């Protein structure tokens, strides 16, 4: 099974070389399976998934993409499986910020590209996974499918990739009262990333603000969470990050969620941030008081999922 992922920190800025921290979310996952095509089930979920994988297969076979792939793909077996009814069986919601396409890509990569996993090979694997996932999002850092593939937390720092093992990260996240809440609206990762790239190319002031103000706080949050965790340091850093998100990534926060984000900032009850590209889907929260936070969201018509 290939888990979904949660990008804790590094949304958008990873494209500019910032640090990023992502973890597998094992409560939701998926795997490749075979389903015999049936005429009366032409438009069911399995059929749609099979058709998407056929499109991915054709995309990977284009000369432009094949030249960029650092590893060879077993296209013969891939095609044979597609004809048999290959599809991705998953309970990961799409357009939710939890890496549904990343899990698909990880499964395809492991089945049809034979590579020995090693720390040394990670950057190339990440590059290959990102290239495959670009079929879904036009631009991909490769982090989402990498987390699903290695099934362990991943840190990107100074353009290097590290698998995090034997770390108390899970304990730190529980101590921080991490939770997820769905915005009641689907996101569109490809469109969000496209708009961000246009903005940073056309607006030098915006790019400067992201680089000089946002990225240092993003990196501070990661350092605080991973190294000698202390809630007295972590929560102020997260609050500062979200205050900047409200300003810099305002268009990525749905209007219905915006008031919830601001309430948390104003009352210090919780801190709600982007989970991936935003625009909809899930948002990540951190709180010192999970019970009161849960009650507040319930009163507002939202249910939260405690990590």
Note down pLDDT in tens along the chain; length 307 residues. 999 999 999 999 988 989 999 999 999 999 999 987 565 665 688 989 999 999 999 999 999 999 999 999 999 999 999 999 999 999 998 878 898 999 999 999 999 998 988 888 999 999 999 999 999 987 788 999 999 999 999 999 988 899 998 789 999 999 999 999 999 888 887 788 888 999 999 999 999 999 999 999 999 999 999 988 999 999 999 999 999 999 999 999 998 899 999 999 999 999 999 998 888 889 999 999 999 999 999 999 999 999 9
Region of residue 275 (phi > 0: left; psi between -120 and 50: alpha; otherwise: beta) = beta
Helix or strand run (H / E) with residue 241: helix 231-248
Q: Which of 189, 217, 162 is nearest to 275 (CA)?
A: 189
Rounded CA-CA distance 159/300 in Å is 41
DSSP-derived pairing of the beta strands 154-157 and 160-163: antiparallel
For residue 73, give every residue at least 6 positions away whose Cβ sits within 8 Å of its Cβ, in sequence order, or none: 60, 112, 113
Are 265 and 295 contacting, i.e. CB atoms less than 8 angstroms apart? Answer: no
- Token output for 293: 């936070």
How many other CB atoms are there within 10 angstroms of residue 57's CB atom?
19
pTM of the predicted structure, to 2 decimals: 0.89
Rounded CA-CA distance 122/143 in Å is 11
- Token output for 103: 């899990």
Helix or strand run (H / E) with residue 285: strand 282-287
Residues in the chain: 307
Judged by DSSP in three states, 274 sits in strand
- Token output for 163: 């698998």
Rounded CA-CA distance 115/108 in Å is 12
Are 206 and 120 contacting, i.e. CB atoms less than 8 angstroms apart? Answer: no
């Amino acid at each position: 099974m290939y888990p979904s992922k949660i990008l804790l920190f590094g949304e958008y800025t990873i494209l500019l070389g910032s640090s990023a921290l992502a973890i597998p979310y094992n409560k939701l996952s998926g795997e490749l399976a075979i389903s015999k095509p049936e005429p009366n089930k032409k438009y069911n979920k399995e059929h749609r998934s099979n058709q998407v994988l056929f499109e991915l297969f054709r995309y990977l076979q284009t000369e432009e993409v094949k030249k960029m792939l650092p590893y060879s793909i077993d296209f013969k077996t891939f095609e044979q499986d597609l004809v048999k009814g290959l599809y991705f069986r998953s309970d990961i919601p799409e357009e939710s910020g939890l890496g549904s396409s990343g899990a698909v890509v990880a499964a395809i990569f492991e089945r049809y590209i034979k590579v020995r996993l090693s720390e040394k090979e990670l950057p190339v694997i990440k590059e290959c996974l990102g290239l495959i996932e670009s079929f879904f999002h036009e631009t991909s850092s490769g982090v989402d499918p990498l987390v699903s593939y290695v099934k362990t937390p991943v840190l990107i720092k100074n353009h290097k990739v590290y698998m995090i093992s034997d770390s108390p990260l899970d304990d730190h996240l529980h101590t921080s009262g991490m939770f997820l809440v769905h915005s009641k609206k689907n996101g569109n990762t490809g469109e969000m990333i496209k708009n961000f790239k246009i903005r940073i190319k056309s607006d030098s002031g915006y790019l400067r603000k992201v680089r000089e103000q946002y990225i240092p706080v993003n990196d501070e949050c990661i350092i605080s969470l991973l190294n000698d965790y202390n809630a007295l340091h972590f929560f102020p850093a997260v609050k500062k990050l979200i205050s900047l998100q409200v300003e810099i990534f305002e268009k990525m926060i749905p209007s219905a969620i915006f008031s919830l984000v601001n309430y948390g900032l104003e009352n210090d009850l919780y801190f709600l941030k982007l989970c991936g590209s935003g625009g909809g889907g899930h948002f990540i929260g951190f709180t010192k008081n999970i019970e009161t936070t849960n009650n507040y969201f319930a009163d507002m018509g939202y249910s939260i999922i405690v990590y």
